[in-house]
Amino acid sequence: MKTKSSPRYINPFTDYGFKLLFGTERNKDLLIDFLNALLREEEGLITDITYLNKEQKGKNKESRTSVYDIYCENQRGERFIVEIQKAKQDHFKDRMVYYSTFPIQEQAKKGDWNYELKAIYSIAILDFRLPQSDPLDRDIISEGKLYDLRKGKIMYDKLTFIYLEMPKFGKEWHECSNHFEKWLYLFKNLNQLQEMPVGLVERQFKKFLKEAQIANLSKEEYTMYEESLKRYNDLKNSLDTAKEEGREEGREEGKKAREIEIAKKAKAEGIPLETIMLLTGLSKEVIDKL
């Protein structure tokens, strides 16, 4: 199913690709379906959403402006911030908390207001593992609320942060056991697919693949997608280069540490200096200091 030929479908991790598939009025049913698959157990059924202004300005000129990938509310007035995050970023969780302050302030009413707030969900789809993530942990979803540490229970349930670590998802289509896992599969593998997965019958997924076909993009959409894809690839290439340089540096440090350990043991055994230099490649000055 996966191939190295030219992609048939867009990459949803690109800014434009993500917003085209989930952030347009014509595709809001796809976003509703995705949110229901993720949140229905605790949120209940979402039947409709309204897209809100993605640019949130501070109260004065000095305040920072925030621009969401997708910002919407459901029929009950509950707010949803949905973000795609392509690379690890310093203070990423802090940024998501900061983003959540704007939907809180928006709900403030002038005059006599009793401070009752509607629930806010900040959802981030990550193309990386969270820092300090256990390599053996395969749980895709991390969910946070305000928690009472002393009593061991949730203290406030109207502010929710959800992170989806996509690199942890490794199932094939036939292994997906529910609707949400199928969403994860399509999202992660979309730009590598050349045909519909075998057995795909869900109407929303068929529409998702139709909307994602590069051949179906208008000339303007294709141009904007190509620009977004180039930015994505440039970022990935930079990150891959940095990772490789880090691994190479780590290998060199490890090699030097092994050489020093060998030299220490050889010196303790009384092996001649010239032989130790030959075995390890270390200089006479380094070995003398051991």
Domain segments of the chain as ranges: 15-217, 249-289
Contact 276, 282 (CB under 8 A): yes
What pLDDT band is residue 1 in, cutting at 50, 70 and 90?
very low
Summary mean pLDDT of the chain: 86
Contact 148, 187 (CB under 8 A): no
User: pLDDT by residue (tens digit) across 214-273?
Assistant: 999 999 999 999 999 998 888 777 766 666 655 655 566 667 777 788 888 777 767 777
User: pLDDT by residue (tens digit) across 166-199?
Assistant: 999 999 999 999 999 999 999 999 999 999 999 9
- What does the CA dihedral 151, 154, 156, 161 come to, rounded to 10 degrees? 140
pLDDT at 240: 62
pTM, two decimals, is 0.76
pLDDT at 95 over 50: yes
Contact 159, 120 (CB under 8 A): yes
Q: What is the mean pLDDT of residues 10-27?
A: 94
pLDDT at 84 over 80: yes
Long-range contacts of 218-224 (CB under 8 A, 24+ apart): 221/20, 224/16
